[in-house]
Amino acid sequence: MSTTFIFLNMMIGIVLDVMQKENLQMELESGQGEAAELHGLRDDVRRLGEQLSRVEATMQARQGQETVDRRGEA
């Protein structure tokens, strides 16, 4: 009797896990729910990182140009 209960409990757990994964996938594809929100936030963070890299490169280029300009003045 106890092995039957354990088996049934395990099967219910598997079914619930599959249903949860399918629900998350549907939310992501539809652009709704927590999964889609996290995906959107991940994209935002990636774009901000790219923008920060461009700003840093611009600042380094300007600092390099200022160094060259100062040497020319001396």
CB 34 within 8 A of CB 27: yes
- HSE-CB at 21 with a 13 A cutoff on CA atoms is 6
Q: Is 71 helix (H, G, I), strand (E, B) or coil?
A: helix
How confident is the model at residue 74, as a pLDDT?
Answer: 57
Q: Which two tokens stand for residue 3?
A: 């092995």
How confident is the model at residue 57, as a pLDDT?
Answer: 93
Alpha-carbon distance of 49 to 43, in angstroms, equals 10
Per-residue pLDDT tens over the stretch 2-35: 899 999 999 999 999 999 999 888 877 887 777 7
How confident is the model at residue 17, as a pLDDT?
Answer: 96
Structural domain spans, the chain: 2-73
Percent of the chain past pLDDT 90, that is, above it, reads 53
> Would you say the pTM of this structure is higher than 0.85?
no
Q: Cα dihedral angle (8, 9, 10, 13), rounded to 10 degrees? A: 120
